Amino acid sequence: MLDEGALKDFVKVCDVDEELIQEYREQLPEEMITVWEKYGFGTFMDGYLKVINPNDYKQLLEDSYFLGNVSIPIIVTAFGDVIAWRSKGTANVSEGYVDIVFCEHIAVITALAGGI
């Protein structure tokens, strides 16, 4: 279930194309798809976090992160860090990890996620 409290100051930049939603529907948790459908791409938490098009950041993640080829970038921070989703590989797409890739140091913190 999506807790929309953190999104109360969401500033929409644009809608998410239906084709992109369909491309990622079976790869991302439903909560992320709901954000795309309801809010689109934009910023929240006073501009600190930005919901992004994964295709715009995928190559960067693949080039700079050892798990980049199996991670989907979903959010970037105001400091340029990439927050990515990585599935556990089970039938339930909502089971996975949120990876935070610190671009300055290329270090990674992985947290087991029960949803976004």
Residues 86-96 pLDDT 10s: 988 776 777 78
Phi and psi torsions of 4, nearest 5°: -85, 5
Calculate the CA dihedral of residues 103, 63, 46, 20 and round it to 10 degrees.
Answer: -170
Residue with the larger pLDDT of the pair 100 and 112: 100
Strand, coil or helix: 75: strand
| Edge-to-edge strand list for the sheet holding 72-77 | 11-14, 41-44, 49-51, 72-77, 82-87, 96-102, 107-113
Q: Which residue has the tokens 């998410």?
A: 16
- What pLDDT is recorded for position 106? 41
Query: What confidence category does residue 29 fall into, taking pLDDT thresholds of 50, 70 and 90?
Result: very high
